[in-house]
Amino acid sequence: MRVLIVDDEKLARDRLRELLSDIGGYDVIGEAMNGNEAVEKTAELNPDILLMDIRMPGMDGLEAAMHLSGMDSPPSVIFTTAYDQHALDAFEVNAVDYLLKPIRKDRLANALGKARKLTTKQIHELSQARPESPARTHISVHLRGNIRLVPVPEIVYFLADSKYVAVRTASEEHLIEDSLVNLEREFAEQFLRIHRNALVSTAYIKGIEKSPSGTWQITLKGIDRRLDVSRRHAAAVRRWARNRPNPA
């Protein structure tokens, strides 16, 4: 079985390598220091199992697992963590394998023996159960079986189109299957609802102007496109424009 070790602490990675060597039958094919690297190396190396820490700088283990669950053939995931027992209740309820640090050889061997692939529903429920539930740092886009991670700070807007949502950056556009309602809830501090089908990053709003027909439109930084503001959201958008701390 091919194993990828994911932990931001070198001592923890070395410890897992030693334990896997003692257990035998497992081949460590690589290491990663954060969730972003975990996603990239999983796509590159195709491991069978990830031993992944939950709390890591940048993209954490739960977010990485969420991105990986959308792969055509996702790996099994065993979380390693220093969470207290109260926080781990959610893992047990969702039947997710985890190892509490410091990790023991017998516990690791047992977890490896029953390692399973996680469902998106399981990971979502685990994320919601955390005392802190941070927004994702990236949006995952699936292209011909591969995962492309789009950093949220690079996203100009989300635009709903039929059953898909277009994710637009300054240079490209991708389609995802997330709900615009869920995206608004998750990224409320970074994106502004301007229309029933559009969320715009406040960092990319250049201004708000009236069109020749008298409707309000958003102008954007770095993109030669105007987005319509619906009548329903016009007052809130204008109020945001008056109160934003650093107008363009």
Q: Which domains are delineated in the chain? A: 2-129 (3.40.50.2300), 152-243 (2.40.50.1020)
Closest CA to 200 of 231, 166, 232: 166
Mean pLDDT value across residues 15-40: 96
Model confidence at 221: pLDDT above 80:
yes
| pLDDT at site 133 | 63
How would residue 132 be classed by pLDDT, with cut points 50, 70 and 90? low
3-class SS of residue 40: helix
Mean pLDDT value across residues 145-151: 87
Mean pLDDT value across residues 38-58: 93
Model confidence at 83: pLDDT above 90:
no
Model confidence at 6: pLDDT above 50:
yes
CB atoms within 10 A of CB 90: 17
How would residue 117 be classed by pLDDT, with cut points 50, 70 and 90? confident
Comparing 105-119, 122-136, 214-228, which segment has the lowest mean pLDDT?
Answer: 122-136
How would residue 243 be classed by pLDDT, with cut points 50, 70 and 90? confident
Closest CA to 241 of 222, 214, 216: 216
Closest CA to 83 of 32, 129, 36, 118: 129
Q: What is the largest CA-CA distance in the chain?
A: 73
Q: Looking at the whole model, is its pTM more than 0.75?
A: yes
Model confidence at 207: pLDDT above 80:
yes
Mean pLDDT value across residues 69-98: 77
Question: Which has more pLDDT, 19 or 121?
Answer: 19
